[in-house]
Structure 1
Amino acid sequence: MDIKSLSPSTGLREPSMLTLTPHKKIIHSKNHARRRTQPSDQISVGIIGISGYGRVMLKSLQTAARSEGLRLVAATVINQAEEKAVCDPLRESGCALFPDYQSMLKAHGDTLDLCVIPTSIHLHKDMSLHALDGGCHVLVEKPLAGSVADANKIVQASQQSGRFVTVGFQDMFSPATHSIKEFLLSGALGQILSIRASGSWPRGQSYYSRNNWAGRLTCDGMDVFDSPLNNAFAHFLNLALYFAAPSLHDMARVAKTAGHLYRFYPIESYDTANVHLLTGEGVIIDGLFTHVDTTKIDPTLCIEGTSGRLIWAHEKESVAYDSQGNELRRWTLDAEEGSRQHMIREVLTFLQGGNRPHFGAESALAHVEAVQKIRTDLEIEEVIHKPLRDGKMRAEWAPVDGLFQQLVDVSNSRSVVG
């Protein structure tokens, strides 16, 4: 299937007739959500895991603690001997350490305002449900869950418990992101026709062997769908879904898919994606991402409208142009840690009685649905044992120099790239 077959003019039902997974619009409302107050009036926080990405989130929380009125009171660390250099200062600060999250929530669940879950994808559902059941609000790393079924369980538990679940798509909390969306909705670029999201971040054997779920479709019987679209580049697919939506607080839903999923490395999932998505409103989203090229190409989004375009460059800037190429507006984008601090600040403001975070589990469902639909609709194409153009066989973990550009050149071809 090529991109032309995604055009609404080829018989795809009108958006109003599409059967899409229902989602709840995020409404900005006052919700004085704190159920308890520390003597120092600080927000009490627990974190599950301090290794891997957990280390990044721990440092972000510690940074926020210096100015944002939070106190880290509990942490789950399953490898305390290995993490002694981190655990000792935590103990000295008064943070209680636990070997598993169940014991942490049992001991502190009734005193925690927020449970932070920067863990493996397949663990998000169970950990979030336990935290919500214990009365905590939740900040869980992206994606929300490994499957739509698991994500829906989190959404339902959040609604039933009255506790909020925030998902760690930190770019969604950047003021620049909101400003760009308002600019798009103003009609300055006319009708939005398409969004192209692309990037190349080299990842090799060490990346895929760092844990028991990297590059896997399932782990311990639970869905993971680990892939560029569900992990490293998930932020940019999610942003495309946000920018393609017709209102400020909505996410676009994917109605139809085409394209290719490639497996170059000896993994279970795919490491390269060249996909074409059609939203319910008729916006085409192209996603071209790989971990196999030798060259790092930071992600960009190119938003095409009937009257101009907008180029978004990761951690750099975003610039809008009219149809004649004249600059209309420019935004400076936050670095990753800056966006993460915006996210933490928004969650803490809510817990102190402010507005609900504008991006929660209901919104994050759109990304989970898109990833699952892509995986369901498209087969993974095995290319790890195909010969290179010079006839030589490529080693299992050998990167492919120039792959990103090859994918651009043959984006809708069934030809084997490499």
Structure 2
Amino acid sequence: MRPVSSNPHSRRGEMAVRVLLCGMGGYGENYVKEYLERDVLGSVLAAVADPFASRSPLFSAVKEKGIPVCNSMDDFFADGGKADLVVVSSPIHTHFPYIMGALSYGCNVLTEKPVCFDEEHFDRMMEKSRETGLFVAVGYQLCFSRDVLAVKRDVLDGRYGKAIRMKTLRLMRRNDVYYGRSSWAGAVRCGGELVYDSPFTNACAHQFQNMVFLLGKTMEESASVVSCEGELIKVRPTIENCDTAQLKFITDEGVELFYYASHAVDETKVGPICEYEFEKGTIRQVQDGFVGTLNDGTVIDYRALDKGERMEKLWECVRCIEEHRTPVCTLRTSRSHTKAVLMAQARGVRDLSSLAERKTDDKGSFYYTLEALSRNLMDAYAQWRIADI
């Protein structure tokens, strides 16, 4: 295990990139671990801003490493703190003020997904990014993974021809512990902001984002969706929003996108799996990566490629600051997902919670499901259709 870098200079001989982490609970612990266990290109974790930092199991380790902890980003800068990159891994409803604040303080941003679901706020963040010349990267892991970037380059180069249709499925059982971890889990609003928490917006969002990302006309763009069919379903009676989605979108280029996800299943995990059909071939995702097959029988195995670091999005943002460039996945890239969520939510949520069966998982926690839900979703995936549930 390599210690945290205390070198004030980066690997390039310049001042080390200074990182402020906003939010060390939940997913934020992954960023903390990266700095506790590794030397991230010579960058330094300048501080953690989190009013509830002491609740984290990593709090003692952070203090032992001498990493400052403060209540807020404003406190950090008011005390004379300096940062080049602000990582926003706080609850969804706090993303907008943190991002706007970071840009105002002259910092680039890496924010976790989803960014937000207020389109005016989204516009303001994009405008602020343009005005300041600072980037706002969005942490969809697949958009930073080197194998996915290789797939996209091949798509852009025309290796697979014109896209026809795509589909993806991911089922992940979630119990009372998962939904009890925060006030926004399964909610429509939190702190006065729309959060629309669901597998489509959060845990399984990567699979949708990857489809629109691969269809973008440049490496930095995603395809836009123009129509939405299907349904969002609420199975768990204790939540406000949905826990299951089966949706069909059409892009502005006429490509069909089928998306299936649920937290209300018996299986601990199914997928992610996907199939992307093109005129000249098909790309499929298996558990450990992507494989392309051309119509002439040629196989392109992207699994052999180095995917990058375990937190490649963080490493890439550090590189981008050092090299004065912008990451591939930014606000612009991620907006298609935001638009798709808003289109799906506008259709309403079908409440089937009265039919839900409560069961106990192997950890002694309750979860909810519908009879044959996962089978119906997997059958619909196989047949490129919306299931009759």
- Provide the rounded CA distance (Å) in 1 between the counterparts of 2:85 and 2:31: 14
Gaps of 5+ in 1: 1-35, 388-392
* Residues 124 and 157 (structure 1), Cα distance of their counterparts in 2 relative to 1, 3 Å cut: same
- Please report how far the alpha carbon of residue 89 of structure 1 lies from its aligned counterpart in structure 2 after TM superposition: 3.2
Residue 32 of structure 2 aligns with which residue? 58
Residue 307 of structure 1 aligns with which residue? 280
Match of 1:407 among 351, 359, 377: 377
Contact kept? 2:170, 2:272, Cα under 8 Å? yes
Q: Percent identity?
A: 24
- Provide the rounded CA distance (Å) in 1 between the counterparts of 2:193 and 2:343: 17
* Residues 384 and 43 (structure 1), Cα distance of their counterparts in 2 relative to 1, 3 Å cut: same
Match of 2:315 among 337, 340, 345: 345
Instruction: Summarize deviations over 1:22-66 as a string: whole Å, max 9, x none.
Output: xxxxxxxxxxxxxx98997211111112111111121124445x1
Match of 1:285 among 251, 257, 270: 257
Whether 2:299 is the aligned partner of 1:328: answer: yes
Whether 2:325 is the aligned partner of 1:355: answer: yes
> Which secondary structure state, in structure 1, belongs to the residue aligned with residue 353 of structure 2?
coil
Residue 140 of structure 2 aligns with which residue? 169
Match of 2:228 among 251, 254, 257: 257
Instruction: Summarize deviations over 1:341-364 as a string: whole Å, max 9, x none.
Output: 322222112221342212212211
RMSD: 2.6
- Provide the rounded CA distance (Å) in 1 between the counterparts of 2:333 and 2:50: 30
> Which secondary structure state, in structure 1, belongs to the residue aligned with residue 345 of structure 2?
helix
Instruction: Summarize deviations over 1:285-329 as a string: whole Å, max 9, x none.
Output: 100111111111021221011232110235x021112336x3421
- Provide the rounded CA distance (Å) in 1 between the counterparts of 2:218 and 2:322: 28
- Provide the rounded CA distance (Å) in 2 between the counterparts of 1:227 and 1:162: 33
Residue 18 of structure 2 aligns with which residue? 44
- Provide the rounded CA distance (Å) in 1 between the counterparts of 2:80 and 2:100: 16
Letter in 2 for 1:271: D
Letter in 2 for 1:91: K
Residue 338 of structure 2 aligns with which residue? 368
Mapping for residues 366-405 of structure 1, pairs under 5 Å: 366-376=336-346, 378-386=347-355, 397-400=367-370, 402-405=372-375
- Provide the rounded CA distance (Å) in 2 between the counterparts of 1:384 and 1:190: 44
Paired residue total:
369
* Residues 401 and 68 (structure 1), Cα distance of their counterparts in 2 relative to 1, 3 Å cut: farther
* Residues 186 and 334 (structure 1), Cα distance of their counterparts in 2 relative to 1, 3 Å cut: closer
Mapping for residues 195-234 of structure 1, pairs under 5 Å: 195-234=166-205
Letter in 2 for 1:160: E
TM-score using structure 2 length: 0.87
- Provide the rounded CA distance (Å) in 2 between the counterparts of 1:228 and 1:410: 18
- Provide the rounded CA distance (Å) in 2 between the counterparts of 1:89 and 1:206: 25
Contact kept? 2:172, 2:265, Cα under 8 Å? yes
- Please report how far the alpha carbon of residue 216 of structure 1 lies from its aligned counterpart in structure 2 after TM superposition: 0.6
Contact kept? 1:192, 1:283, Cα under 8 Å? yes
Residue 4 of structure 2 aligns with which residue? none
> Which secondary structure state, in structure 2, belongs to the residue aligned with residue 309 of structure 1?
strand
- Please report how far the alpha carbon of residue 104 of structure 1 lies from its aligned counterpart in structure 2 after TM superposition: 2.0
Match of 2:289 among 317, 335, 346: 317
Gaps of 5+ in 2: 1-7, 360-365
- Provide the rounded CA distance (Å) in 2 between the counterparts of 1:354 and 1:142: 24
Letter in 1 for 2:50: V
* Residues 107 and 56 (structure 1), Cα distance of their counterparts in 2 relative to 1, 3 Å cut: same
- Provide the rounded CA distance (Å) in 1 between the counterparts of 2:230 and 2:127: 33
> Which secondary structure state, in structure 1, belongs to the residue aligned with residue 311 of structure 2?
helix
* Residues 241 and 264 (structure 1), Cα distance of their counterparts in 2 relative to 1, 3 Å cut: same
Residue 3 of structure 2 aligns with which residue? none
Residue 11 of structure 1 aligns with which residue? none
Whether 2:244 is the aligned partner of 1:275: answer: no
Contact kept? 1:319, 1:327, Cα under 8 Å? no
Contact kept? 1:261, 1:270, Cα under 8 Å? yes
- Provide the rounded CA distance (Å) in 2 between the counterparts of 1:63 and 1:291: 32
Contact kept? 2:320, 2:327, Cα under 8 Å? yes
- Provide the rounded CA distance (Å) in 2 between the counterparts of 1:272 and 1:327: 37
- Provide the rounded CA distance (Å) in 2 between the counterparts of 1:156 and 1:216: 28
- Provide the rounded CA distance (Å) in 2 between the counterparts of 1:120 and 1:217: 13
Instruction: Summarize deviations over 1:195-244 as a string: whole Å, max 9, x none.
Output: 10111111122111110000011112111011111100111111010112
> Which secondary structure state, in structure 1, belongs to the residue aligned with residue 160 of structure 2?
coil
- Provide the rounded CA distance (Å) in 2 between the counterparts of 1:355 and 1:274: 37
- Provide the rounded CA distance (Å) in 2 between the counterparts of 1:37 and 1:375: 47
Letter in 1 for 2:83: L
- Higher normalized contact order (CA 8 Å, seq sep 6+, divided by chain length): 1
